[in-house]
Amino acid sequence: MRGPHNIIRLIRTGATLERTGAMKVVLDAFDAGPVLRITVRTLVWPFRWLGYKGDVTSPPAVRALTALGPAYIKFGQVLSTRPDVVGDELAVQLRVLQDKLPPFSMRDAKATLQRELGQSFDQLFTSFSEPVAAASLAQVHRATLAESGEDVAVKILRPGIEKAFRKDIDAFYFAARAIEFLSPASRRLRPMDVITHFEGVVMGELDLRLESAAAAEFAANTADDTGFAVPQIRWHLSGRRVMTLDWAEGTNIGLNDALDAAGHDRRVLAARVLELFLNHALRDGYFHGDMHQGNLKVSANGDIIAYDFGIMGRIDEYTRRVYAEILFGFIRKDYQRVAEVHFEAGYVPADRDVDEFARALRAVGEPIFGMDASRISMARLLSYLFEVTERFGMETRTELILLQRTMVVVEGVARSLDPHMNIWQVAKPVVENYIKESIGPKALLRDLVKTAQVLARFGPQLPRIAEDALIRQNNPPPPPKPQRRIARLSWMALGGVIVGLAWVLTALA
């Protein structure tokens, strides 16, 4: 499905933006210059008739992304948390994409429930509300259990969502392949790997059994986190297309006026959101990968409640240490150490100059730390750092894509709560504590114990492994022979082509 026919899909993307008026909104949001505006509009305008019309009652950007499909909606959700990037007006428009999309019918919802759970709808629930939230992939209903009278949230996938998403992701694959072909320099960024990673993450959202498992693991990891809560899963009422979990009352974290009216301190909430994310990423290596406003609520007692566990991130212990050292180095303005960590981790090729790289990092960090606290941004730092690492040949690390993207989203949520928040001041104690626990003498002893446990487990096999290695070293296997066969087949193929051409020429003569 990833053939040239996807060109139509990509052309239609630009055409839809133009037809809905979103193209002008996007260009305005990014302060595009006159040359870029004229070029883009000139290229897209002839195809305007191919664009989707969308819901004319929606704002232009929302109208375009909703018409284009779930993958585009996901992209809009991320941008909605970044008013510093797209502007306040567009960010407010895009926030509608998080949980206020048109719902599918109650008849389809009930049919899916009965089909997935194998029981009559009336046997399961005494009440079942209209959708309380409708997002790109699923919608949520509030229901009362017949067996206990407890209130629960029931999440149901949209009908046909798998096919719709596949259509979008196929177009993305085609675009990535075209970019790699037309711009060899872009291969350093591994566009195909990026799309593959994105596909894997979102496809996990399309099996709610996996999301249920993720929620259960996340709840276990964060059980002792003060001021944070994860609803419990009702496993007997969950399946591939349905997930049931405890209902938790709260105020959407994106509604500042409602939070103020409820007496919550938004500055405390902003700091807690960032601290929680860093703790989950560094301490547990398992974090919520979609922490936008639509997936967070604040309970009456001030706890932050997390929902929607379809996108979860996992990073190994070594990568966590590297990430923490890089953050900590920037916090202390120790650019030499930040550079050394990049080289030690293999992120930058060993043939580059570490001192030159450290100097380039200083040029990234100093202007940012010279800013007013309200303007200091981890997202901006990541953007500048990307430019520097590109010059030094650093390849895109696919395992860090979700971590970096979520960092951008979390910062956007925190900024929306407290625009004057000092990101680095909040992050410093969390990172310092992790460094102390993971890189100090205690961590060294812990690593040695783990190494000893591994050696003990494989101890009986070590002599045989060593012996096999020595035998292979002293008696290397004979070189493979496929080259000779391939060469012979190549000559045969070439001969066939020559004979075919001769036959054609003879026929023409």
Name the most confidently modeled range: 67-76, 179-188, 374-383, 439-448. Answer: 67-76
Task: Tell me which of 161 and 184 has the higher pLDDT.
Answer: 161
Is 449's pLDDT higher than 60? yes
Average the pLDDT over each of 42-56, 95-109, 258-272, 464-478 and give the range with the smallest value: 464-478
Report the amino acid identity of residue 499: V
DSSP code for 283: I
Query: What is the percentage of the chain residues whose pLDDT exceeds 70?
Result: 76
| Percent of the chain's residues with pLDDT above 90 | 27
Domain-embedded: residue 256: yes
What's the average model confidence in pLDDT over 337-348?
87
Domain boundary among the residues 439, 469, 496 is at 439
90 lies in some domain: yes
Counted residue by residue, the chain has a size of 509
The Cα 232–Cα 238 span in angstroms is: 12
Highest mean pLDDT among 232-236, 398-402, 448-452: 232-236
Q: pLDDT class for 275, splitting at 50, 70, 90?
A: very high
72 compared with 229, residue with greater pLDDT: 229
Read off the pLDDT of each residue in 348-374 and give the average, rounded to a whole number.
80
Supply angle C-alpha 364, 367, 429, rounded to 5. Answer: 80
Give a yes or no: residue 242 inside a domain. Answer: no
pLDDT value of position 277: 93
Is 286 within the bounds of a domain? yes
Candidate from 13-22, 58-67, 181-190, 263-272 with smallest mean pLDDT: 181-190
Q: Looking at per-residue confidence, does 323 or 91 come out higher?
A: 323
Last residue of a domain, one of 99, 131, 146: 99
Whether 31 is covered by a domain: the verdict is: yes
- Which H, E and C letters describe 233-248, residue by residue? ECHHHCCCCEEEEECC
pLDDT score for 106:
92
| pLDDT score at 234 | 95
Contact by Cβ (8 Å): 311, 205 = yes
pLDDT over 50 at 489, yes or no: no
Q: Is 31 helix (H, G, I), strand (E, B) or coil?
A: coil
Name the residue type at position 258.
A
CA 184 – CA 188 distance, rounded (Å)? 8
| Mean pLDDT in residue range 245-249 | 92
173-186 mean pLDDT: 68
Residue 498 has pLDDT above 50, yes or no: no
How much is the pTM? 0.71
Q: Give the H or E element holding residue 400.
A: helix 398-417
| pLDDT on residue 169 | 80
What pLDDT is attached to residue 488? 47
Mean per-residue pLDDT of the chain:
79
Domain residue limits at 92:
6-99
For position 490, what pLDDT does the model report? 41
Residue-wise burial string across 44-71, b where 16 or more C-beta atoms lie within 10 A, e elsewhere = beebbebbbebeeebbbbbbbbbbbbbb
Last residue of a domain, one of 439, 459, 493: 439
Q: Binning pLDDT at 50, 70 and 90, where does residue 376 land?
A: low
Any domain includes 27: yes
Q: Which residue has the higher pLDDT, 164 or 265?
A: 265
Of residues 178 and 431, more confidently modeled? 431
* Averaged pLDDT, 471-495: 54
Please say if the pLDDT value at position 349 is more than 80: yes
Kindly tell me if the per-residue pLDDT of 31 is higher than 60.
yes
The dihedrals phi and psi of 133, each to the nearest 5 degrees, come to -155, 135
The pairs formed by 147-150 with CB atoms below 8 angstroms and a separation of 24 or more are 150/246, 150/247
Q: Please report the pLDDT score of residue 69 as a whole number.
A: 79
Residue listed under structure tokens 């305005």:
28
Give 383: exposed, middle or buried? Use CB within 10 Å, 0-12, 13-18, 19+. Answer: middle
Instruction: Please tell me the total count of domains within the chain.
Output: 2
Give the mean model confidence (pLDDT) for residues 84-98.
68
Q: CB under 8 Å to 343, separation ≥6 — which residues?
A: 350, 352, 354, 357
Q: Is residue 505 part of a domain?
A: no
Which of 123 and 4 is assigned the larger pLDDT?
Answer: 123
Among left, alpha and beta (phi > 0; psi -120 to 50; other), residue 160 is left
Assess whether 290 carries a catalytic annotation. Answer: yes
For position 473, what pLDDT does the model report?
Answer: 72
What token pair was written down for 325? Answer: 């050292």
Residue 26: what pLDDT? Answer: 74
150 found inside a domain:
no
3-state secondary structure 284-333: HCEEECCCCHHHEEECCCCCEEECCCCCEEECCHHHHHHHHHHHHHHHCC
Catalytic pick from 99, 170, 225, 290? Answer: 290
Residue 209: pLDDT over 50? yes
